[in-house]
Amino acid sequence: MEKWQKLLAQSLTSPDKLAGKLGLEPGEMARVLEQYPARINPYLLGLISRSGPVWRQCVPDQKELKDGHGQTDPLKEEKYSPVKGLIHRYPDRVLLYVSNVCASYCRFCTRKRQIGFEYVTLKPKDFRAAIAYIKKHQRIRDVILSGGDPLMLEDRLIEKYLKALRSIGHVEIIRVDTRAVFSLPQRITPQLCRLLKKHQPLYLMTHFNHPKELTKEARAACRRLGDAGLVLGNQSVLLKGVNDDARTLKQLGEELLKVRVRPYYLYIPDAVKGTYHFRVPIRRALKIMRQLIGHTSGLAVPKLILDLEGGGGKLPLTPKYVVRKRGKEYTFRNFEDRKFTYHDV
């Protein structure tokens, strides 16, 4: 067993053990876990301080049960699934749901309905059907391996999936979405990096939400991935009480760049049942973006993204900079709140 597998095997998952370690009430913990599983490995446990950002994201909370808002599948992913495990929402890209397991179960997860209940990976026959579908649809040029966390699979299986996708001529790029660089950086072994390196162009999307998640171990994992030649991007979720302020996000963006990870998306939380306590209003999200844009390197600023309810797809949101338009004359408000006029052609 590799080190990361040993750490995973030592994860706290039962109400008694979780409540005991975290100083919480086991009965309350059990009620949340009946509906939404949790998993905290020893590395993650070391990052948790009471009510801190990692605690809020990983420790089960009674609020999850009291939430009367939201839906189980607000993005209607199931509607856009032509074969099991595949989501085809946009013409030229698909998402392949390869596993429902993660190194830790984020309390705000969009796929709260699916993750962690039992160990489920894509069955070989479903994988074959997904590959056949991608082969048949020649417009598909971008495939995202997602879940759950694809890096929770053994190297052998990851290699099998990547090889199969790489054998399809029209698949130009492959993306791997993973939260493990935060929750179990030990998973980013030199062998895994060698394996991923063989299947370029490969984009690896990390998921860090707070600068405190960028520990010495996580930074080293990012460096190993960067040294393997992967293009690294980060997707964050804007979470109330975790990172919903410009100072935290500015620091996160700047620290990510130091380890060659480019902030890519900052998601407005989806309206998922059991996650209302994390939701941030759009108005506030736009205000935060205004405090970021121009106040740090553009490279450190992610796009603010709203995934439309009902399966409408992703939409970038930007603060309003146009103050007035008269004919070909535009007046803009800049990042310092000063007005400037631009004469258009």
CB of 152 to ligand SF4, least distance (A): 9
Cβ neighbours of residue 33 closer than 8 Å, sequence gap 6 or more:
14, 15, 18, 60
- Return the residues of window 73-112 that contact ligand SF4 according to CB under 6 A: 102, 105-106, 109, 111
**Residue 316 forms beta bridges with which residues?**
305
CB 300 within 8 A of CB 250: yes
- Among this protein's residues, is 119 annotated catalytic? no
Name the nearest CA neighbour of 268 among 248, 290, 291, 286.
286
Name the nearest CA neighbour of 302 among 335, 263, 258, 246.
263
CB 295 within 8 A of CB 319: no
CB of 285 to ligand SF4, least distance (A): 18
Query: Which of 58, 109, 193, 222 does the annotation list as catalytic?
Result: 109
State phi, psi for 165 to the nearest 5 degrees. -70, -40
Nearer to ligand SF4, 149 or 307 (CB): 149
Nearer to ligand SF4, 110 or 296 (CB): 110
Nearer to ligand SF4, 87 or 109 (CB): 109
Choose which of 88, 179, 212, 273 interacts with ligand SF4 (CB under 6 A): 179
CB 2 within 8 A of CB 155: no
Distance CA(60)–CA(285), nearest Å, equals: 25
Q: How many residues bind ligand SF4 (CB under 6 A)?
A: 10
- No. of H helices and E strands in the chain? 13, 12
Choose which of 85, 88, 143, 149 interacts with ligand SF4 (CB under 6 A): 149
**Residue 239, interface with ligand SF4 (CB under 6 A)?**
no
CB of 150 to ligand SF4, least distance (A): 10
Query: Which of 61, 177, 244, 307 does the annotation list as catalytic?
Result: 307
CB of 320 to ligand SF4, least distance (A): 30
CB of 257 to ligand SF4, least distance (A): 22
Distance CA(286)–CA(52), nearest Å, equals: 24
Residues with a known catalytic role? 89-90, 93, 102, 106, 109, 111, 270, 307, 314
**Residues lying near ligand SF4 in the complex (CB under 6 A):** 102, 105-106, 109, 111, 115, 147-149, 179
